[in-house]
Structure 1
Amino acid sequence: MIRHLVLFKLDEGVRRDDPRVVEGVAAFRALGDLIPDLRFWECDWNITDRPIAYDFAINSAVDDADALQRYLEHPAHQAGVALWREFATWVIADYPF
């Protein structure tokens, strides 16, 4: 199994209630039901308010590297990423577990 973690930081001045953000969150929340390769899926807002904290997180798992690639290329994932590109930056980590 591979764990896929993503941490998102909203761009300066962008708020959680921005309509673009609301749409992006909805798109990512739906992925767990749309992409068969996902074995585990959760995402939500960070509840801490510290200067080094990121704003939103995805924690997911897939069976192997091929499944991870299919997830990354899935049209629903690509559509969500396109939304988030407009208002955030992110970092990722993929590791076996």
Structure 2
Amino acid sequence: MIRHLVLFKLNEGVTKEDPRAVAGAKAFAELGALIPELREWECGWNFAERDIAQDFAINSLVADREALAAYLGHPAHQAAAAQWREFATWVIADLEV
């Protein structure tokens, strides 16, 4: 199993109320039902206000590296990620669990 984690930081001047961020969060929220390779899917806005905190997170689980590649290449994932590229940066970690 692979745990796929992504932490997003909104670009300067962008808030979670920004229409792009609202649409991006909605696009990611819908992925769990659209991509069969996802065994678990959680995403949402961070409420912590610490300086080192990120703004949005994805926590997902897939069976193996092939399933991860299928998820990453899925058109719905590609479209959602493209939205986020306009207003945020992110870091990822993929853990074999």
Provide the TM-score with structure 1 as the length reference.
Answer: 0.99
Distance in 1 of aligned mates of 2:22 and 2:11 = 14
The sequence identity of aligned pairs, in percent, is 67
User: 1:56 is matched by which residue type in structure 2?
Assistant: F
Aligned pair 1:68/2:48, yes or no?
A: no
Q: Deviations over 1:36-68 (max 9, x none)?
A: 000000001111001110000000000000000
3-state DSSP class of the match of 2:24?
helix
1:1-97 to structure 2, matched below 5 A, reads: 1-97=1-97
- Structure 1 position 14, deviation (Å): 0.1
User: 1:73 is matched by which residue type in structure 2?
Assistant: G
4+ aligned runs moved over 6 Å, structure 1: none
Distance in 1 of aligned mates of 2:93 and 2:33 = 22
What is the root-mean-square deviation in Å for CA atoms of aligned residues? 0.3
Gaps of 5+ in 2: none
Provide the TM-score with structure 2 as the length reference.
Answer: 0.99
